[in-house]
Amino acid sequence: MSSEQPRIKIAIQKSGRLSEISLKLLEKSGLQFARSKDKLFWYGRNLPVDLLLVRDDDIPRLLLEGMCELGIVGENVAVEKVLEARKRRPEADLDQLAPLDFGHCKLMLALPENESYSRPEQLAGKRIATSYPRLTRRWLNDNDVEADIVTLNGAVEIAPSLGTADAIVDLVSTGTTLRANHLRAVTTVLESQAALYRGNSKLPSERELLLDKLVQRVMGVQRAAETKYVMLHAPRDALARISAILPGAETPTVLPLESQSDRVAVHALCTEQVFWEHLEELKAAGASAILVLPVEKMLA
């Protein structure tokens, strides 16, 4: 590979909740990297796409400053860092290319469990501890509430019991951490999941093409993960009902069965989740030999 060839860099979290699944997604998209155990940079072996392994908090800045072209990071971090960058550069922004359906969590307001909550105005004049000061400030402003924000980099959930805050705004997934600290989530500030982002500056056309190809592949892997190939046998006269049950299937392929003129084989690409309930409904509608197969790759 010549060093003249344009290359792009994609940043993912080095070690944490999003790391493994981000890397797997890129590998499934056909990217291979020359791994190096400690380094922050893995060279792309089969495509001119290199990997940067960094703290998740650094990913938005790398994108905003053009030091990498793509990044996978939680929406919570992306939005917070964009709001932070806008203090210095009001036009700072990131383009979200695709939500990735992992790293789901909510940024929530939580209060000591014995305190009641009915509306945001209650927080007026209170101290709220958070690692997300800009998102918290935006939420307070949206609700016309003036409160003090105490910015902490970690262990936000212990602030109320230490007496350094009256409430917190923190990420919640199962709620176990809040319960262990006698806190109760009362309202959602932001719903979040991991997403694929790019900086919003235009690249030279060759790199723009490469980026586009990569994004198509990542989205193809995403779609394939949600998509199932369903095969079944059905009475010819139940076809309309069966097609209506198949989740997210457009036009199923209908094939004749050699020995049975009243039954057909139906093959369908289901782009929405296929649950056991769907299979039971199909069976009740007269389907038999129902198979649900994973789809490995898709290119629309």
Binding site for ligand PRT (CB under 6 A): 13, 16-18, 55-57, 74, 76-77, 103, 105, 170-177, 192
Separation between Cα atoms, residue 59 and residue 278, nearest integer Å: 41
Determine if 226 is a binding residue for Zn ion (CB under 5 A): no
- Give min distance, CB of 177 to ligand PRT, in A: 3
- Give min distance, CB of 212 to Zn ion, in A: 29
Binding partner of 93, given Zn ion, ligand PRT, none, CB within 5-8 angstroms per partner class: none
Determine if 93 is a binding residue for Zn ion (CB under 5 A): no
Helix, strand, coil percentages in the chain from 3-state DSSP, rounded to 5? 35, 35, 35
Determine if 57 is a binding residue for Zn ion (CB under 5 A): yes
Whether residue 94 contacts residue 115, with contact meaning beta carbons closer than 8 Å, is answered with no
Binding partner of 50, given ligand PRT, Zn ion, none, CB within 5-8 angstroms per partner class: none
* Minimum CB distance to ligand PRT smaller for 143 or for 177: 177
* Minimum CB distance to Zn ion smaller for 78 or for 100: 78
* Minimum CB distance to ligand PRT smaller for 191 or for 206: 191
Task: Give the contacts of 216 (CB within 8 A, at least 6 positions apart).
Answer: 299
Separation between Cα atoms, residue 91 and residue 209, nearest integer Å: 25
Number of residues that bind Zn ion (CB under 5 A): 2
- DSSP state for residue 154 in the 8-state scheme: S
- Give min distance, CB of 73 to ligand PRT, in A: 7
Q: How many CA atoms lie within 13 A of 295 on its CB side?
A: 23
Binding partner of 76, given ligand PRT, Zn ion, none, CB within 5-8 angstroms per partner class: ligand PRT
Block residue for tokens 């010549």? 2
* Minimum CB distance to ligand PRT smaller for 13 or for 227: 13
Question: Hey, what are 238's tokens?
Answer: 């139940």
- DSSP string of 233-291, one letter each residue: EEEGGGHHHHHHHSTT--S-EEEEETTEEEEEEEEEEE-S---HHHHHHHHHTT-EEEE
Among 56, 69, 157, 170, binds Zn ion (CB under 5 A): 56
Residues in contact with Zn ion by CB under 5 A are: 56-57
